[in-house]
Amino acid sequence: MKHGKKYNESAKLIEKGKLYDLEEAVEVAVKTGSAKFDETVEVHVRLGVDSRHADQQVRGAVVLPNGTGKTVRTLVLTKGDKADAAKEAGADFVGAEDLVAKIQNENWLDFDVVIASPDMMGMVGRLGKVLGPRGLMPSPKAGTVTPDVAKAVTEAKAGKIEYRLDKTNIIHCPIGRVSFGADKVKENLEAVMSAIVKAKPAATKGQYIKSCVLATTMGPGVKLNVARFGN
């Protein structure tokens, strides 16, 4: 695969085959962000589990100490007092049947996070085919199906992200922007890794965290030494 000049220049900052300590990995990753826009820094964590088995699923949510650097648009599906509370908390869109119909009939998707109160789940279930493939379906594990919708809105706005295994047993998470600088990205990375380690399924055998790579949107990957995560 051919890469551009900027990518190749960034790749020179990374020592081939080296497993970097967390602090150095973050510093190098941030330096590789050379695009004209403020690149997102992502972490890609390969786990020693099998996502095909229900008892080896790894999924949850964590509030990044320094946020994601992204303005999050929240949609809350609820009624009555909870709807008022969601609006007060700063939700961008609040409704019930009206918004469910809008998503179904107009393929409306101008939001980043969907939060629902438990009493709405019968209705929300109809949106599975639309929201599911886009990773937007609310779930109790991610804290997006909850009676306290106001708290969920506040957390989403503050930089709460969901992490989950894909079919290849890898978790992909945004952990900030290049403009944050190494210290803030490092704090966010530590929060994500701590959450993933705590979410280790009891059925896991052998090494849990197989590999961990940091990369900016357009940059090359920096491999971390995963020994520190206590496999």
> What's residue 2's pLDDT?
60
Amino acid at 40: T
Rounded-to-integer distance, Cα 88 and Cα 228, Å: 42
Q: Which residues of the chain fall below pLDDT 70?
A: 1-4, 230-231
> What's residue 80's pLDDT?
95
pTM for this one? 0.81
> What's residue 9's pLDDT?
73
> What's residue 6's pLDDT?
74
Map out the domains of the chain with their CATH numbers: 5-67+160-229 (3.30.190.20), 74-158 (3.40.50.790)
Residues in a beta bridge with 75: 93, 114
Phi (first) and psi of residue 4, to 5 degrees = -75, 175
> What's residue 12's pLDDT?
78
